[in-house]
Structure 1
Amino acid sequence: MIIDLFAGPGGWDIGATRLGFEVTGIERDHSACETRRAVGLATVEGDVRHYGPADFPEASDLIGSPPCQPYSVGGKGRGRAALDTVLALAAHLASRQNITQALAGFDDDRTGLVLEPLRWALEAIDAGRPYKTVLLEQVSTVLPVWEAFARILRAEGYSVATGRLSAEEYGVPQTRVRAFLAASLSGKARLPEPTHHRYRKDAVQGQEALWLRPWISMADAIGWGMTARPALTIAVGTAAGGPDPSCVGGSGARATLYGERDAGRWIDCTRIVDADDLPAYRGGRRDTIRLSVQDAAILQTFPADHPWQGSRTKQLEQIGNAVPPLLAMHVVAAATGLDLPAHMRQEAAA
């Protein structure tokens, strides 16, 4: 069984269960837990900090995607500002020191949550039941933390691979870049090889690596929007500000969308009935380009009928925070030495 920390609505878990794994997720957001239950995912509603490996002795593998807000370039940057402290605390954990008091010193208590997967991994090692694989994901700025974790886990006997993966290179119709860590106790750890071309502005598909498939455009995925490239990262609004959660990206990303539309590389939405959601000029100004919940979910490669729970804002927040299930499936398969089944390879290429 895999234990998934900060499990959200189940991006990692859907990818893993498609490969035949049993997954239990820990998540404290009630709406995300309701979504998980509605889709049939095993769920513990609670704070990861209140649990440990001893509470899940049957778990053989570990997944973790800590909250990204403190480290995101779209946030206030408290996690990025505290990066040196986080790295020092990782070293303290490696030497089995108690860091509880130090964690209380962060302005944003989510900053220290990035250390929770390391705590779990080390506690499992000390209990004599080390996880066979450890898979972690976060925004790109967290890669130095994953690299520090890699050094610590190698000293504990793991093979570890770290790096940034761009979602469109795995069939996901958006240009989302995230930092990953894959650790294995058996065999050489690896991250998945790309299956699709990486998006590059003005590049002609098929002129790079002939064995890679074309990237999936936003229009290919949902039938409206950009016909020449993937969507930008699905953004998440927060109580502290940030972009509207129903938008694609922030102001710069919206400018890119408007540019695509103005250049004629745009298919109008035919599914959203509310005129306020349609991308258009109104009264001489540019209105915000908005997505329906279903559209945002499809761009994240969730099933179109995924049973999202909570308010519209909470549903979009869950989607924006999640690991795309298709990308998760590639990462889990690579880390565990599995080949994607034929029908899943065809799905990934669609």
Structure 2
Amino acid sequence: MSHIDEVTSPPAVFRILDLFAGPGGLDVAAEVLGHQVTGIEWDSDACATRTAAGMDTYKGDVRQFRASFFPYAQVLTGGPPCQTFTVAGHGAGRRALDQVLQYIERLHAAVRAENHQSWEQIFRTWRKISEELRLRELEAREVKEEKGKVEELRAKKRKAMRAELERLGNSPSEIKVFMKGLKDPQTLETSNEEIGNLLKEFGDLNHRLSKLKDKLEELGDERTGLVLQPLWWAIERSKRPGSEPYEAIVLEQVQAVMPVWEKYAEVLVSLGYRTRTQLMHTEAFGIPQTRRRAVLMARLDRTGLPNGPGLDRLPHVPETHERYHRAVTPDRTPKAGHADTLPLDTSEPWVSMEEALQRARRISPSRVHKRPAFTVISNYGTGGVPEARGRRDHDAPSATITGKVSRNRVVHKGTDTDLSRFERFDHAEAGVLQSFPVAYPWSGKDVPQQIGNAVPPRLALHVLRQVLGPEMTDDAVRDRLKHAIADLETWKPGKPVAFREQGDWEGHPLTGK
């Protein structure tokens, strides 16, 4: 064997377009893997962070861009906002999900009918869907405006009833009981004509408000349309004359979105992709946090061979760490993984908050505080009980990092006693628990929300490595990930890069202009 034969080829470099890019969780992971990323993000605060981090960005609504604007993008990634699918009560989340699945099926039908429909006809299907969503959004705005007026009138009626009760000489406790009864005004009785009239008007407003809420749930919101965008971009690149399909597609969101990704996968298989949907436990990939993410992966099949049963599937991303089990110490955590999610190495336990913060503190002592053994008390209740706050000790992974992370209390371990100092995680520390580099330059407003909504970079490392470098051996994968994780932890921002806006195409590597 010659020396040339023994040399391992360097990993391919891809040009990635990241929709709904947020503050740059996927982008920083792609950067340390050597790929080039451009993000589209509408939020000004997230764009401020991206600018400070040197992330190439177009600021604006994804719906105002098109796949054809970026003909040199090779990979499409993104995490469209899908919170409507997790809305509790009255089945709103289920209805929003069913609506999106129906729209996807309409697009799929147009793609399947390719032999009978031209690109113009496929595009016409999309235009009809877009117009339906636009009209629903306009109607929803009108309903929201009316709902606001009704709520304002209700508040005035409440105030008038309180004032009349005070004028009649009712005690504060009596007034409190009466006002509490306004949750169900039909049960309240009064001999006072003025209060009786106000009660009737209040009840009528409640009825109007209930109908308006039902109407809003029926209409959904703009996020219903946003979740369709990545699929349409993939269809456009695959079917539009003169376009080349994306080499790969990676999408991630909350667990509730998995049915959408599974439906997406059916369409992508029709477009010539091998796909995989996977529910990923973040702590099983070395992230110091328990969080479940629904991930869709697709890679263009260039073999030219027909797909048989199972041949249209990509392999799972292998887990590298144990899954977290409550009340089990790291060295005794049971082995995790199923037949299709076997870990690369089952010897590594999950990473605790303490371990992650200590590593970050060694890299940047000024950004991470030194604390004694601690317990984190969540801002959220557990089991539907607001008062039953979730608790995690320092030697366990964090609970899911949300936009309310700055409200979590850090107390002395096993107590409710706040630490005398550093009783809250600051931005750098919260970012580390989301697996961002400790030096990540969080900027703009509402940084906790940016952190909570971000793609965990270390999870993105594993997914991108798997989809964009599938031919690597297990040993090569371990080596690649080891170096990439080290580079991620020690990453530092370069020169800030000002964001662009739609129309500013000149000189951009993805536009060719």
TM-score (norm 1): 0.82
Change (3 A) 1:28 1:144: same
* Deviation of 1:302 (Å): 1.0
* Deviation of 1:170 (Å): 0.6
Give the aligned partner of residue 295 of structure 1. 429
Give the aligned partner of residue 307 of structure 1. 441
* Deviation of 1:24 (Å): 0.2
Letter in 2 for 1:234: I
- The residue correspondences of 1:254-269 to structure 2 (distance < 5 A) are 261-262=413-414
CA-to-aligned-CA distance 1:176-231 (integer Å, 9 cap, x gap): 11100000114862342111100011334344347241111112222554233100
CA-to-aligned-CA distance 1:103-127 (integer Å, 9 cap, x gap): 2324321122111110110001013
Query: 1:84 and 2:98 equivalent?
Result: yes
Give the aligned partner of residue 194 of structure 1. 319
Q: Which moved more, 1:35-44 or 1:337-346?
A: 337-346
Q: Distance in 1 between matches of 2:436 and 2:420?
A: 20
Give the aligned partner of residue 38 of structure 1. 52
Q: Distance in 1 between matches of 2:452 and 2:351?
A: 19
- The residue correspondences of 1:1-350 to structure 2 (distance < 5 A) are 1-72=15-86, 78-94=92-108, 95=110, 96=122, 97-98=125-126, 99-104=129-134, 105=136, 106-127=219-240, 128-186=243-301, 189-207=314-332, 208-209=334-335, 211-222=346-357, 224-225=374-375, 226-236=393-403, 244-247=404-407, 261-262=413-414, 272=422, 278=423, 290-311=424-445, 314-337=446-469, 339=477, 340-344=480-484
Q: Distance in 2 between matches of 1:166 and 1:138?
A: 12
How many positions carry a matched residue from both structures?
315
Q: Which has the higher contact order (CA 8 A, sep 6+)?
A: 2
Letter in 2 for 1:155: S
Native 8 Å contact 1:182 1:190 kept in 2: no
* Deviation of 1:17 (Å): 1.0
Q: Distance in 2 between matches of 1:270 and 1:132?
A: 53
More helix by share: 2
Native 8 Å contact 2:33 2:484 kept in 1: no
* Deviation of 1:88 (Å): 0.5
Native 8 Å contact 2:41 2:57 kept in 1: yes
Letter in 2 for 1:203: V
Native 8 Å contact 1:191 1:331 kept in 2: no
Native 8 Å contact 2:32 2:487 kept in 1: no
Q: Distance in 2 between matches of 1:269 and 1:219?
A: 15
Superposition RMSD in Å: 2.8
Q: Distance in 1 between matches of 2:440 and 2:294?
A: 26
Q: Distance in 2 between matches of 1:74 and 1:37?
A: 36
Letter in 1 for 2:315: R
* Deviation of 1:71 (Å): 2.7
Native 8 Å contact 1:69 1:75 kept in 2: no
Letter in 1 for 2:299: S
Letter in 1 for 2:449: E
Query: What is the identity percentage for the equivalent residue pairs of Structure 1 and Structure 2?
Result: 41
Q: Which moved more, 1:186-195 or 1:323-332?
A: 186-195
TM-score (norm 2): 0.57
Native 8 Å contact 2:461 2:484 kept in 1: no
CA-to-aligned-CA distance 1:271-308 (integer Å, 9 cap, x gap): 72xxxxx2xxxxxxxxxxx4221221110111112111
Q: Which moved more, 1:10-19 or 1:179-188?
A: 179-188
Q: Distance in 1 between matches of 2:88 and 2:443?
A: 25
Change (3 A) 1:31 1:77: farther
* Deviation of 1:349 (Å): 11
